[in-house]
Structure 1
Amino acid sequence: MRKIREWGVATATVLAVVTAGCGSGDATEHTGADHVSGTLIVFAAASLTETFTELGKQFEAAHPGVEVVYSFGASSALAEQINQGAPADVFASAAPKNMQQVRDKGSVTATPVTFVRNRLEIAVPKGNPGRITGLADFGKTEPKLALCAKQVPCGAATETVFETAGITPQPDTREQDVKAALTKVTLGEVDAALVYRTDVEAAGDKVEGIDFPESVKAINDYPVAPLAHAPNAVAAAAFVDFVTSEKAQSVFAAAGFDTP
């Protein structure tokens, strides 16, 4: 399974696979799930990388004629790319705000479905060398801290929890998506970062997670929808159905997501 992470680099590749796959996956030629085939292009929030990769494998196994191609990144950046005409079949956002940006431009005409929820957790390197104990440490200048950029969903959530806690954060870096913030922790470049708890889970023994009570004030809903101009509309509809199925929910639950 191939993953495409940057539209600017990957557009030519995406266009090539769309051209190759449209003949067998065109919605005008097939009308049922049994005929799902061709290339399926999914734009998805970075925090969905592990779960969607697993679900993509399962979807391909169920539909041998399908190849799932992903673009993972910040939901805000993905929404902008879609609105600029990037070819894609499905959009899965980490926040309703970014899905609404796409709807406002007419790029999504179906009603998005909230398929999971997520919340923030403090990630620290294994052994917690910075001795981080809670959210209050993000208001101190001594630890090295990473946050997501304010315009992306994890960054907007962090702003909410800091406002709730009455803390003015003192980050050393703001990253363009949650995986970039987590990488700062796994490399030992910062003492702590605010990421989703699913990212802490996915990192395994590379990091440790610290819960904090204010996280319940900033739970993110994740909506998914097929795109209005999907090159492979039949596969897009089938994938959205699969992502919202009971089988997929078990994968999300194991990764630490909350059910809607």
Structure 2
Amino acid sequence: MNSSASFHLFGWRPSRGVARRPHSRLARSALGIVLAPLLLGGCAAHSVQPAAGSIAGSITVFAASSLKGAFATIGAQFEAAHPGVKVIFNFGPSSGLATQITQGAPVDVFAAASTKTMDSVIADGEVKAASTFAANSMEIATPAHPTRSVTSLADLAGAAIKVAICQQDVPCGAAALTLFSQNRIRVTPVTQELDVKAVLTKVQLGEVDAGIVYVTDVKAAKGAVIGIQIPAADNVTTTYPIAPITNSTNGSTAQAFVDYVLSDAGQNVLRAAGFLSP
């Protein structure tokens, strides 16, 4: 992709030269005092801030793993529309990203794979309000060359079938458990992965017979796995909220990125990736 947009996977850690976001809570203020000596040898990530109201500089976007492909495209388009702007992505499990945000990670925008996860960040005061920009539903993924036959949701209850899902505190894991419960099938996963991309990898490698992933993940795999659709009446849907972080050091650009995701241009990218309208 010919773009300066950059991204890395889940795993933010405070490092030399990178300042945490300002936060009003006393505990985090105290933590900032402890970290201050570590920052003297370098410049903070947002030390040169753009003029108020201008769309300039860089922003860091924390986004659910399932958004990786679509947001990489949206980020490139946003940068092209605003020359000089840089969008840095951190993709990972929504619950883990939310924890990083509440611990003071330097971030400007958060896009989660569930309303529940976003609500936890709102409750902590990191976000004032969020906008729903997409929805997704679940699909069964099996290896491109399966060794055991899986053709329906009911097959996942078979004793010989190895099933992978996300961890239950991650939106894709919670959705999988709801899917099993509402369809009254008992499935014992052999592994619960950190995020949906990890589940998909297990399927691609043939380490499991099936995995519960999002429809968009099967589409993004481009034939590397076989997708087995779940009837709409039996399926579950998750919604995706997005919001600028209240204490972003580049609020104007953060809001502009959120607006772009909600715009026709951003929505067209999401629809092409297989996401549903919110």
Aligned pairs for 1:104-123 (under 5 A) are: 104-109=123-128, 111-123=129-141
Residue by residue over 1:206-249, the C-alpha shift from the partner in whole angstroms, topping out at 9 and shown as x without a partner, is 11100112675420010000001112111100000000001111
Work out which of the residue numbers 195, 214, 221 in structure 2 matches 1:196. 214
Work out which of the residue numbers 114, 117, 132 in structure 2 matches 1:95. 114
In structure 1, what is the equivalent of residue 66 of structure 2?
A: 47
Contact 2:17 2:45 in 1 (8 A): no
Query: How many Å separate the matches in 1 of 2:48 and 2:184?
Result: 56
In structure 1, what is the equivalent of residue 176 of structure 2?
A: 158
The structure with more helix, counted as a fraction of residues: 1
In the TM superposition, what is the alpha-carbon distance from 1:191 to its structure 2 partner?
1.1
Pair 1:97–1:2, CA change in 2 (3 A): same
Pair 1:80–1:4, CA change in 2 (3 A): same
Work out which of the residue numbers 6, 9, 22 in structure 2 matches 1:2. 6
Aligned pairs for 1:1-260 (under 5 A) are: 1-9=5-13, 11-12=15-16, 15=19, 19-25=44-50, 29-31=51-53, 35-109=54-128, 111-213=129-231, 217-260=235-278
Residue by residue over 1:161-196, the C-alpha shift from the partner in whole angstroms, topping out at 9 and shown as x without a partner, is 111110111211000110110010111111110000
Secondary structure of the structure 1 residue equivalent to 2:174: helix
Query: How many Å separate the matches in 1 of 2:164 and 2:122?
Result: 31
Contact 2:167 2:195 in 1 (8 A): yes
Aligned-partner residue type, residue 170 of structure 1: T
Pair 1:200–1:217, CA change in 2 (3 A): closer
Pair 1:11–1:132, CA change in 2 (3 A): farther
Q: Which runs of 4+ in 1 moved over 6 A?
A: none
Pair 1:89–1:214, CA change in 2 (3 A): same
- What TM-score do the two structures reach when normalised by structure 1? 0.91
Moved more, 36-45 or 212-221: 212-221
Query: How many Å separate the matches in 2 of 1:18 and 1:165?
Result: 54
- How large is the Cα RMSD of the aligned pairs? 1.9
Query: How many Å separate the matches in 2 of 1:140 and 1:63?
Result: 53
Query: How many Å separate the matches in 1 of 2:59 and 2:248?
Result: 9
- What TM-score do the two structures reach when normalised by structure 2? 0.86
Structure 2, unaligned stretches of length 5 or more?
Answer: 20-38
Aligned length: 253
Query: How many Å separate the matches in 1 of 2:170 and 2:66?
Result: 12
Secondary structure of the structure 1 residue equivalent to 2:48: helix
Residue by residue over 1:97-119, the C-alpha shift from the partner in whole angstroms, topping out at 9 and shown as x without a partner, is 0000000000001x211000000
Secondary structure of the structure 1 residue equivalent to 2:161: coil
Structure 1, unaligned stretches of length 5 or more?
Answer: none
Pair 1:170–1:215, CA change in 2 (3 A): farther
Query: How many Å separate the matches in 2 of 1:12 and 1:177?
Result: 28
